[in-house]
Every structure is written in C-alpha cells, then in structure tokens.
Structure 1
Amino acid sequence: MPWKETTIMEEKIEFICEWNSGKYTITELCKGFGISRTTAYRMIQRYEKLGIEGLRMKAKAPINHPNRTNIEIEKRILCLKEKHKHWGAKKIKVLLFNDFPEIQIPSVVTIHNILSRNGMVCPQKRLRRVKPLYPIFDPKDCNEVWSADYKGKFLMGNKKYCHPLTIADSKSRFLFTAKAHYKENYKSVKEEFTRVFRKFGLPKQVHTDNGIPFGSVSAIQRFTTLSYWFIDLGILPVFSDPAHPEQNGRHERMHRDLKAACAAPSAYDLRAQQRRLNSFVREYNNLRPHEALEMRTPAREHQFSDIPFPEKIKPYVYPAHMKTMNVSKSGAMRWKAYYWVYMSSGLIGKQVAAEEIGNGVWKVFYRNVFLGYFNEKDIRDKQNITRLSTNLV
C-alpha cells in the first residue's frame, strides 16, 4: 500500500518492525507497502546508522544557495535594526551603502524578509486615508516656511509632565530643536526661537496650529503676542485651519517618530529627557534617510537662511497718508478722542495705522500686516467700544 500522508512516520516504523521480525523478504515488504526496493534499502540503512531518528523526513532545501544574502550583510542588517528599532527596510538599505559595495546590497524586499525571519518586524495598524484638506503648506525652498508645535505632553519618571517644543524647516525637514519644557508659554517659546534664529537665521513664514501661545481662534487674525513678535522680525505667522492638524502633516509625522524614540518609555526628569531629545535631533537630521527627500538626510538638504536675526528691532515707519495710533493698556485704540476700537491684548503698547478706503470704512495694519476693518458709522451709532472685524461690512 502507498504511504499515507498523515502517517508517514508510523508507516516507516511499521516497515522496520516487519523487517526486523525476519518473516518477510524485502520483495514482499516492498510489495505490501507499495514502495521501491531502493527506498526500502535506504530506510534500512538510515535506521541501522541513526536509529528511529534516521527515519524522519529531511529538509530538501540546499544548504547553500547562489543567491543567498551574504552572512556578513545579514548580520549588519540585524545590527542596524537593533540600533534603530523604529526604522524599516528602506532606511536600513541606505545605511548598508556605507559598509558594502552596491552590487552586494540586497533589495528592500529581501531586507524586510530577513528582518521578518528574525522576528524584528512589528505589523503596523493600517490608517484610514482621508481626502487632503487645503490649504496645504508646500514650500519650494528652504527657510520659506518653518513649522513649530508642542508635541503632546507625556509623564516623566518623576511624575511631572514634559512638553517638547519642536521647530523644523518644512522643505528640508531639518529639525532645528526639540526643547523640553515644563509648561507651554510665551516666554519659553520666545527664548527657544531666539536661540534658533541666532544660529540658523530667519524664515519668511512660521506655520503653527491655533493653540496658545502660537495662535488664538478668538483673536483678530488669530494673532497672539508671539505672532506680533514674529511680525516685528519680518516673519509672517500662518496657521492651520482649526481642528485640522493634517495641514501640518509632515510635522505631525515627525512627532510620531519623536514619541516612539523619546517618550516610550520616558526619562526620569527634564534634564535626562532633554538628552534623549538632543540625541533624536542628531539622528533625525544626520543619519535617518527621509523618503520625501529621496532617501537623503535633512542635514544634506538644508541650507542656512541668509536673513540674520536682528538683536534690536527697528521702529516701523508707516506711509504718510495713514493715521497712526497707539494701542492702550486695555488693548484698544482711541478714535477721534471719544470712541474706542478694540484690537488685541497682544498689541498693548504698540503702534498701529489706519487707511481709509471710502464711506467711513478704514483698514487697520500692524506694520505691513493687515489686521481688519472698522466703520466710523458703527462707532457713532453704538456710542461705545467696537471690535475690529476681518470682514468688510
């Protein structure tokens, strides 16, 4: 009878038992089990040499294969993955060029299979793709737009929260800083921006979300005290639409890598956490290949800004045809001695200017940035303070 697929080992053992009994010839056994004499003699030979273990099925795959990846390259792949646990096959392949000639570098699929075979690939949750919303900030040159945000707070070992401030160039993805703060406030953000501006120069725009201290949805043009400081430096603050962080998606994607590298788990205190963040910034800029940059590093793509940081802000001279006014401690400007137009608490102590466009409607500017409109008729009718509006009415 032929071998049964599910009981091959049992059939082999039965064949050896019948042969050991001496009651049957090889010819009779081969006929009864439905096998050839060659197979029978091979089983007997293996049994006599290795015992029952010799009857087990042996792998038929060749020990060596001409297309198999070099063992030294495999070891290097596993070493790189161990060092950069959150990197995939694409990024690891780029680093292999530093150690081996191009002809020996395996494909991305092969590298992935090597990692998977060694249990070093974690399946990722598939994300639901959504239709992109606009505006999407896509600069064409370095220092055209910088992005900034606070990575969500996380608890450190000393039971205090860390708030990492991150600033990056939107074109080259170069990460200028990841600064650990205890709180999210204007003073801390201004100090870190000042340090970065002095070292790397100024951008044309800074793109943020609408959270304090970057923006405020209830303020005129969403500008805050930090926004007006940017304007003083000649930088235009721009914002994502409220509740749409995907408009700054490249910055949010960087935050995901930062969280995996520095917050899971976190360090004991702020000083130790800052060392982790500094290490992440160095690796992100100088070592980690970036797919959006055709697998080049941000440090290789970034160029320093040619706009230096001014240690002293020069006063702005408005055109002669504009009416200039000071913003009082209440955040409002006086209009014709009797009336008030509320501006913003961020403008307290600063000078704004108004330009008439006809029918009693005025446009208000801070330096060269438009803030909003107000109508003289509305002020006289209300006989009290009125607010600046971004809509022409």
Structure 2
Amino acid sequence: MPWKETTTMEQKIEFICEWRTGKFTISELCRRFNVSRPTAYKLIDRFEKQGYEGLKEVSRAPGKHPNETTENVVEGILSLKAKYPRWGAKKIRKLLFNDFIEKDIPSVITVHNILKKNGLVCPQKRLRRVKPVYPIFDPKDCNEVWSADYKGKFLMGNKIYCHPLTIADSKSRFLFTAKGHYHENFKSAKAEFTSVFRKYGIPEQLHTDNGSPFGSTRSLQRFTRLSYWFIELGIMPVFSDPAHPEQNGRHERMHRDLKAACAKPSAYDLKAQQRRLNRFVREYNHVRPHEALGMETPAASHVFSTRVFPEKIQEFDYPSSQSVIRVTQNGAIRWKSYYWVYLSAALKGKYVGFEHKGNGIWKVYYRNVFLGYFNENKLRSKESSTRVETNLV
C-alpha cells in the first residue's frame, strides 16, 4: 500500500527523518511506512539531490507532445493578438493562413488555449438565459435591408460630446460609415446618408430604432422628417419595437467593437476622433473576419446596390381614386373648408392622399405608403379637429 493520501508529505518527511538517524534499516522503514524498497530508495535519492523540495509530487505529464504547436506559430498568434486585442481565437486563426501552411495551423480551441495560457483571454460574465427574440428581418441578399443608428454619445478630450452615426448592410455586415457628429439631428444625418447613397446606392429598407432623428413613437407609423425623405427616395423605413434593441442585434454588436476601439479612450477633438472611426471602418470591413460570413470579411461578401441615388426627388402621381390635399405649416389639412385633420408636423408642405372606404372612413397615404385612418364622423361642429389614427377602434 502506498503513502496515505491525506498525509503524504508528512509521512515522507517522517521517513527521511527516521532514515537520517541511522537507527533503522531500509527494510524496517519499509515495513513501518508500508512502502516498497524501490520507492524508499527513490525517495532517498531525490532528498539527497534536491533536499526537502525533492519530496514534493512531480507532474507526470510529458515534457513534449508530438502534435505540439510550433514556436513560430505561437509567436504569430501572440503577435496577432497584440495587433488586434479585441479579436478572439476564431478570427486570429483565420489570419494565420496568410503566414503559415495549413498543416501547421492549430485548431480554434488550441489557439484559444494558447491565448489563455499567456493571460490574453478575459473571462466573460455568464449571462442569464432568456427567451430568444427573433429579428424582424432576415435579409437574403445584400442591400435588401440596411441598418443605421447613432452610437451612444461619449466625451472627447475637449469635453465636447461626439455622436457617431453608423450605417451598415444587414446581410454582408459591410459598414458604410461611422461619422462623428456634434448633434443627432436631421441635417447631420441627411448629409451623411446622402454621401453614402451616392457612393453605394440605396437599399430597399432601412432598419433603425425609435430615437431621433430616425423615428418617434408619437408620430404616425413612427415616421419622422428623415423617414419621409427615405420614402421619397424609394426606401421603406422600418423600426425595431420600442425598448428592444436586440432586434437589430448585429448592428448593436458592431457598436460594442466600435466603442472599445474608438471611445476607450477617446481622442481630443472631432477631427482626431474621425480618424479613429475611419481606421475602425477599414479594419472592420477589410481585415476582421466575420463568423456569420464563414470567417470572410464584410468587404469580400458585399456587392454594391443597383438602385442609384436620385439627385432630384420625382413628383408622385396619386391614383385618381384618392383625394390629394396639401399639409399646412401646422401639420394638419383643411377638411371641407372648416374642419381640421391633424397628421404630422414632419409632413408640412407635402401632399397626402385620402381614399374613401365607406361609412365616413378614409385611408391616408403619403405617396405609396399607408399612414393611418381618418373618421370624418367624429367631426361634429365647425372649426373642430381630429387626428389621423393608425388603427380603427
């Protein structure tokens, strides 16, 4: 029987102390401590060479493994991690193919273990499992749906806030722009969208949240001034449900990388901050492999839109079945000379169509997009007003 497991080290020390007294033979010590003679001689030999440190248990793991990753590959992994500190094992392994032959490149798990061994893996907080929320859109082709948002503002070194506007293709994840603005408003957003549309074409739909200037939960169909401009270009604005940013999760995930790369820490002023944002866009599109794209880059997966940006908005011809009325400066239309029907201040100066469905119910359109219903039976007295509603109650 070997040493007692709970007091192995104590018994080894006691054995050596008894042996050093010279009062006992090896056979007597072996019988007393219930160990074999080879074990006793091995223990004495280790004590004579290393002292009491030699009595500690020695790992039986082999010193070398026949399939061990070569030193130059390990150095390549560590070098890539130093260059791209926010990337994980999958993306770093993909880049190894640029410098090494395939048979020398380890698996994703091995790359992760090498990074972990060198203290380069940050443990992630375990998240509570929740019921999955499926995305509203699952595009099959590039330019079917684009996503856009203002990344949360952050202070620059000069104590002024930067508001980065990001626009990306939902299929290829290609990031068209990350433009720093001083304010989140219609003028700034429209200027950047115009620049992107001129270069890359226009999508069929544009997916955003409900924040200004993209959407408003108080407006008809959540449309804003910017939304109506998209409609005029032939783009349908679509929105995530209120308080559900996970419905545009691929865009939010990109924002996390952008924040880590450009806002921690931030640059001194907007000019320097924009250089950081531009550098992130180039790296994200052309260098960083994307797991959802089979470890290809967004630039390798994206194709330009065939829908060209119209420099001049074309007039829209409403069907003859609709009554066309111009919206006044207060966002309402004059109905039968002495009633008011309120729509939205974002529509002032524009023409809307009213289609009668019977029993005093009218459907309201802006161009070919349905806005809501209007019930003229609610108008009881002159100069009274009502609102267009999205649903009939």
Q: Give the TM-score normalised by the residue count of structure 1.
A: 0.90
Whole-Å Cα distance in 2 between the matches of residues 15 and 245 of structure 1?
Answer: 68
In the alignment of these two chains, the number of paired residues is 393
The 3-state SS of whatever aligns with 2:379 is helix
Q: Which residue does the alignment assign to 1:81?
A: 81
Mark the CA change 1:31 to 1:361 in structure 2 (over 3 Å): closer, same or farther: closer
Instruction: Tell me the amino acid that sits aligned with residue 324 of structure 1.
Output: V
Q: Which residue does the alignment assign to 1:167?
A: 167
Q: Which residue does the alignment assign to 1:176?
A: 176
Instruction: Tell me the amino acid that sits aligned with residue 147 of structure 2.
Output: S
Aligned ranges 1:252-263 → 2 under 5 Å: 252-263=252-263
Q: Which residue does the alignment assign to 1:358?
A: 358
Mark the CA change 1:134 to 1:333 in structure 2 (over 3 Å): closer, same or farther: farther
Whole-Å Cα distance in 2 between the matches of residues 223 and 165 of structure 1?
Answer: 19
Q: Deviations over 1:138-159 (max 9, x none)?
A: 1111111111111112222322
Q: Which residue does the alignment assign to 1:197?
A: 197
Contact 2:339 2:382 survives alignment (8 Å): no
Contact 2:340 2:383 survives alignment (8 Å): no
Instruction: Tell me the amino acid that sits aligned with residue 82 of structure 1.
Output: A
Q: Which residue does the alignment assign to 1:323?
A: 323
Whole-Å Cα distance in 1 between the matches of residues 211 and 221 of structure 2?
Answer: 14
Whole-Å Cα distance in 2 between the matches of residues 129 and 49 of structure 1?
Answer: 56
Moved over 6 A (4+): none
The 3-state SS of whatever aligns with 2:72 is helix
Aligned ranges 1:229-244 → 2 under 5 Å: 229-244=229-244
| Residue 101 (structure 1) aligned with residue 109 (structure 2) | no
Instruction: Tell me the amino acid that sits aligned with residue 304 of structure 2.
Output: F
Shift of 1:362: 2.2
The 3-state SS of whatever aligns with 1:163 is strand
Shift of 1:377: 3.0
Instruction: Tell me the amino acid that sits aligned with residue 184 of structure 2.
Output: E
Q: Deviations over 1:74-124 (max 9, x none)?
A: 222222222222222222222222222222222222222222222222111
Whole-Å Cα distance in 2 between the matches of residues 95 and 332 of structure 1?
Answer: 58
Mark the CA change 1:29 to 1:192 in structure 2 (over 3 Å): closer, same or farther: same
Q: Give the TM-score normalised by the residue count of structure 2.
A: 0.90
Give the unaligned 5+ runs of structure 1.
none
Q: Which residue does the alignment assign to 1:294?
A: 294
Whole-Å Cα distance in 2 between the matches of residues 132 and 30 of structure 1?
Answer: 65
Whole-Å Cα distance in 1 between the matches of residues 363 and 83 of structure 2?
Answer: 58
Q: Which residue does the alignment assign to 2:207?
A: 207
Aligned ranges 1:57-76 → 2 under 5 Å: 57-76=57-76
Q: Deviations over 1:245-289 (max 9, x none)?
A: 222122112222222222223223222222222222222222222
Whole-Å Cα distance in 1 between the matches of residues 28 and 75 of structure 2?
Answer: 53
Aligned ranges 1:209-224 → 2 under 5 Å: 209-224=209-224
Q: Which residue does the alignment assign to 1:345?
A: 345
Equivalent pairs: percent with the same residue? 70
Task: Choose 66-75 or 20-29, whichever is displaced more.
Answer: 20-29
Task: Choose 248-257 or 305-314, whichever is displaced more.
Answer: 248-257
| Residue 389 (structure 1) aligned with residue 389 (structure 2) | yes
Mark the CA change 1:50 to 1:207 in structure 2 (over 3 Å): closer, same or farther: closer
Mark the CA change 1:53 to 1:135 in structure 2 (over 3 Å): closer, same or farther: closer
Whole-Å Cα distance in 2 between the matches of residues 373 and 217 of structure 1?
Answer: 17
Whole-Å Cα distance in 1 between the matches of residues 352 and 15 of structure 2?
Answer: 102
Q: Deviations over 1:176-218 (max 9, x none)?
A: 1111122111111111111111111000111111111111111
Q: Which residue does the alignment assign to 1:379?
A: 379
Whole-Å Cα distance in 2 between the matches of residues 361 and 240 of structure 1?
Answer: 29
Q: Deviations over 1:223-261 (max 9, x none)?
A: 111011111111111111222222212211222222222
Q: Deviations over 1:56-75 (max 9, x none)?
A: 55433222211222222222
Whole-Å Cα distance in 1 between the matches of residues 390 and 136 of structure 2?
Answer: 22
Give the unaligned 5+ runs of structure 2.
none
